[in-house]
Amino acid sequence: MDSEITLQVDGSERTLTVDTRTTVLDALRDRLGVTSPKKGCDHGQCGACTVLLDGRRANSCLTLAVAHDGAEVITAEGLADVVPDGHLHPVQQAFLEQDGFQCGYCTPGQICSAAGMIEEAAAGHPSTATDPAAEGGISLTDDEIRERMSGNLCRCGAYVNIVAAVHQAAETAASLRKGLPDPAEAAVPDSPTAASMPAHPEDRP
């Protein structure tokens, strides 16, 4: 049973016909060619498909596209669109610098999850790592980051570096929120990475 829907994907309005059975994840990957969100389990058990759905992180594998007609979807690929001059989003930059991944397959989901989670914490949403008696804003300690990022499995075992990356990104976000300069800006190391990898590595430089 087909149905026509419209999604705002990474800033672009995309109208498409989907089977009612098609998930947001499959609509993106198979229908629209947006393959940044990954399919790791297809059952909400790994988090690789995490996108920002109407501004909140969500498992796109368990959401039916037809039920999200009109929704805004931001993937890791589109996250950088808010940053001028083609630079990476601060969360992406932090993952790169802290080596917060190995094979890269869980990474777009981790990055969307981190971006969503930093906002959740800023809004005061608690986690099991939060002191129940504490009031007000959340301080993103190591334990808070670990718990809040536990919906994103990484089989390569990059968690130690993911925690470091989220710390870095959260500091950047906090600075930007206060109107201060990005603290990571001054510390971009001398590496050929960012400038020289526009497409397939084989096509470099």
Binding positions for other proteins, 111-170, rule CB under 8 A:
111, 113, 116-117, 120, 123-128, 132, 142-143, 145-163
Between 56 and 177, name the residue whose CB sits nearer to other proteins.
56
Tokens 């087909």 map to which residue?
A: 2
At closest approach, how far in Å is the CB of 42 from other proteins?
A: 6
56 by Cβ neighbours in 10 Å (0-12 / 13-18 / 19+) ranks as exposed
Q: By CB under 8 A, is residue 72 in contact with other proteins?
A: no
Pick the binder of other proteins from 71, 75, 118, 169 (CB under 8 A): 75
- Regarding 41 and contact with other proteins (CB under 8 A), the answer is yes
Number of residues that bind other proteins (CB under 8 A): 101
Residue 77 lies near other proteins (rule: CB under 8 A): yes
Assign residue 17 a region: left if phi > 0, alpha if psi is -120 to 50, beta otherwise?
beta
3-class DSSP state of 23: strand
By CB under 8 A, the residues from 3 to 22 that bind other proteins are 3, 19-22
**Residue 196 binds other proteins, judged by CB under 8 A:** yes
When the beta carbons of 178 and 202 are compared against other proteins, the nearer one is 202
Closest CA to 76 of 43, 101, 45: 101
CB of 178 to other proteins, least distance (A): 23
Q: Which of 15, 84, 85, 192 forms a contact with other proteins (CB under 8 A)?
A: 192
By the rule CB under 8 A, 50 interacts with other proteins: yes
The nearest distance, CB 153 to other proteins, in angstroms, is 6
Taking the complex as a whole, how short is the minimal distance between the CB of residue 181 and other proteins, in angstroms? Answer: 22
Cα dihedral: 94, 50, 106, 117 (round 10): 40
Rounded CA separation 186/54 (Å): 33
Helix extents (H) in the chain: 24-26, 76-79, 90-97, 107-122, 142-148, 159-177, 193-196
Cβ at position 179, least distance to other proteins in Å: 26
> Do 24 and 60 form a contact (C-beta atoms < 8 A)?
yes
Report the relative pairing of strands 72-74 and 50-53 from DSSP bridges.
antiparallel
Is the CB of 7 or the CB of 40 nearer to other proteins?
40
- DSSP-assigned beta bridge partners for residue 19: 2
